[in-house]
Amino acid sequence: MDYLVYFTTTAGLITLIDTVTEFLKAKLKISNSYIQYVSWGVGILLAVLGQLFGLGMFETMTWIPTIVAGFAAALASNGVFDTGLVDWIISLFKPKTK
C-alpha cells in the first residue's frame, strides 16, 4: 500500500486522521466526550510526522504551517471545517512558485 497518498492531499490526511482516531477509540476505550480532542492531537501528530519524513504536501512546509495544517485537517475530519476551507488555509503557507 502506498502510504504517501495519505499525505499528498488534505482529503487523504482527513481519511488517515479518521482511521487512526477510530482505531485509538476502539483500543483505548476513549469516551465520546474526549474523542474530538484525540482527533486534534492525531491530526497534529500525523502532520508533524509528515513534515519530519518530507511526505507529500508537508515536504516544503515549516513547523508552524505544518501544525496549522494538521489541526485544520483534524477540524475537517470532525466536521467543523470543510475541505475547501482547509485547502485554502494550507495554500496560504505554501511557498509561491514562479
- Each residue of 31-46: pLDDT tens digit? 888 988 999 999 999 9
Specify if 45 maps to a domain: yes
What is the distance between the alpha carbons of residues 86 and 98, in angstroms, rounded to a whole number?
Answer: 23
Q: What is the pLDDT of residue 98?
A: 63
C-alpha cell of residue 69 = 495544517
pLDDT score, position 88:
79
CA separation (Å) from 73 to 27, 28, 50, 97? 23, 22, 13, 23
Q: Are 50 and 58 in contact (CB under 8 A)?
A: yes
Domain count, the chain: 1
Say which DSSP state 30 is in.
Answer: -
Predicted structure pTM score: 0.79
Question: Which regions in the chain score pLDDT beneath 50?
Answer: none
**75 occurs within a structural domain:** yes
Q: What is the pLDDT of residue 76?
A: 86
Which pLDDT belongs to residue 60? 87
Instruction: List the domain range (segments joined by +) for residue 46.
Output: 34-91
CA separation for the pair 50, 44 (Å, rounded): 10
